[in-house]
Structure 1
């Protein structure tokens, strides 16, 4: 029975007939890229500190707008988390750790199980993160926990700091609070990254467990960021909006990257055509490289036999048939 060809057959150049070239994605090139972008994001947060007075004014303006629209869910949630340790402590652990664990775990899962969608998922995350960094720079915002006590918020991270590794200053490890920007609150990328994870789990996951996690993770994250007094509700809305904008920009960004890659490949091809001998070396037998004039042993033996037999008709340029032996 003839063997069936795979439906996604690729040519020798790594392309699918009728489609754009397929670029192989390898983890050892992706990992440095993700770490580089995350490092730039962390450094950008520190640089985008802004004026404290301006950040407080922005926070109070958001709080007043929410109260005017009857959307002030932060106060009741914060009182619930403050009064009940069994709710507040897990919420602080959720806020301080899960976005560092779940986000890369989902990215690795997509890379391993749904690699054809990986570039789009990774680009969506990185583009949205950079948009969030712009928001931190242009609109520094004082989170509810850093407002004056008269506004009725309690910093649960400080209240329950003895239960975890974080300190009283921020969700950073104890003693490293000065290495984070506490006014980088608008938009909430805790919510944005959780939404990204939820969309991918819902879209590519199979089974009720992953579908439940896809809905529960971003929803609980929204509740946690407000109950711990780290974000306003509008911060969460802005985080979702940033992810939506990043999603819209992902396809144009990928097309632009493909054009740049094609142009770079074209420049290299022109350079090779202009100097065909650049980087070339004599090759014998496909993989065996030899110096100029050097012959491998079998080649010497074949040359000696050819000399004994005499010149071939084609070598002498004579069309007369060779005499029978």
Structure 2
């Protein structure tokens, strides 16, 4: 069943969010994501130790699914090549496309969805920093892994250094494997398609995309199975923190509106209700209304069958009307 937003929610979101403020914010977060991966290179020997420790845990639990998948992708080019294209491209295409779609078509849900994605990404950066991890493809050949990206590099734009284009391998951190944000972002995309897609095809895509991505990251030897599990866990923590982040953001906006009321009133994308709530003493430039009981009229507007009195009708200020326009004497009303 399609998800619809209430008119009030849509109106509030439209007044708050503008693409020229959202786009720089998204680019800033992605820049932090890229820079964080570069800065969190860590010690190579520690990264290798962490990778081997993960592999030992998986073997002990018999969950090292990356071994058979990697052998399958290595021996079957018709599976390995599409998997490499999947890994090298969709992570950077599907997520932005869904963000734009949510902004344009599901604006009432966009802010929470965007905040969830960003919060989880920053948590992932903490993981890269604290636990640099060597991916399976960079372990010694004795561990039985083959780098399919390097094996099939002649089919695409990537070289032998992850999904980076040839000659640009130095611009990526190959030891940022734990957690797998490929899987985390794919899970976010799947949830968005399932909840807001509105069609059976969208729901199917919402299930297939994260599952295939999980298989791809293991089959190409870019991640361990536990990396994928950690990516899911990071998204779960980000989802739990999203309401707190949204409330903190609203408090900051309210304080800024109190300190800078003129800026809050004139800034593009500012919500009129937010500005007025944050600035109780703010005055409105709209014409004053005439309020009488439950009726509100604008200056000069009369209710049906209302009789003009006072100076407007030429009567004396203390003159009392004799009837209500319906033929009944004033005393009888």
State if a TM-score over 0.5 links the two structures: yes
TM-score of the aligned structures, taking structure 1 as reference length:
0.77
1:46 to 15, 18, 38: 38
The CA deviation at 1:267 is: 1.2
* Residue pairs, 1:67-82, within 5 angstroms: 67-82=59-74
Please, which runs of 5 or more residues in structure 2 have no aligned partner? 1-5, 265-286, 288-316, 318-333
Q: 2:136 aligns with which of 136, 144, 166?
A: 144
- The alpha-carbon distance between structure 1 residues 270 and 180, as it changes in their structure 2 partners (threshold 3 A), is closer
The 3 A distance-change label for structure 1 pair 266 and 178 is same
For residues 271 and 196 of structure 1, do their structure 2 counterparts lie closer, same or farther at Cα, with a shift above 3 Å needed? closer
Is the CA contact 2:162–2:222 (under 8 Å) kept in the aligned structure 1? no
**Which residue of 83, 91, 106 corresponds with 2:98?**
106
Deviation at 1:9, TM superposition (A): 5.5
Which of structure 1's runs of 4+ aligned residues deviate more than 3 A?
7-10, 269-272
Superposition pairs of residues 25-64 of structure 1, within 5 angstroms: 25-64=17-56
2:7 is matched with: 8
Name the CA shift for 1:81/1:254 in 2 (closer, same or farther; >3 Å): same
237, 243, 248: which one aligns with 1:256: 248
TM-score (norm 2): 0.75
Distance 1:9 1:34 in 2: 25
For residue 44 of structure 1, report the CA deviation from its aligned partner.
Answer: 1.0
Residues 167-222 of structure 1 show CA distances to partners (whole Å, capped at 9, x for unaligned) of 01221001101110000000000000000000010001111111110000000000
Q: 1:118/1:44 Cα in 2 relative to 1: closer, same or farther (>3 Å)?
A: same
**DSSP-derived class of the 2:7 partner:** coil
Deviates more, 1:226-235 or 1:38-47: 38-47
Is the 8 Å Cα contact of residues 257 and 263 (structure 2) preserved in structure 1? no
Root mean square deviation, CA, Å = 2.0
Distance in 2 (alpha carbons) for counterparts of 1:235 and 1:270: 48
Q: What's the secondary structure of 1:121's corresponding residue? A: helix
Q: Please point out which of 242, 245, 262 is paired with 2:234.
A: 242
Please give the per-residue CA displacement for 1:1-50, whole angstroms capped at 9, x wherever unaligned.
Answer: xxxxxx7369xxx76xxxxx985211111001100111111011100000
Cα distance in 1 between the residues matched to 2:67 and 2:42? 26
CA distance in 2, matches of 1:269, 1:72: 58
Aligned residues: 260
1:141-181 CA-to-partner distances (Å, cap 9, x unmatched) read 00000000000000000000000000012210011011100
Structure 1: runs of 5+ lacking an equivalent: 1-6, 16-20, 273-285, 287-318, 320-325
C-alpha separation between the residues in 1 aligned to 2:95 and 2:53?
31
Question: Could you tell me which residue of structure 1 aligns to residue 310 of structure 2?
Answer: none
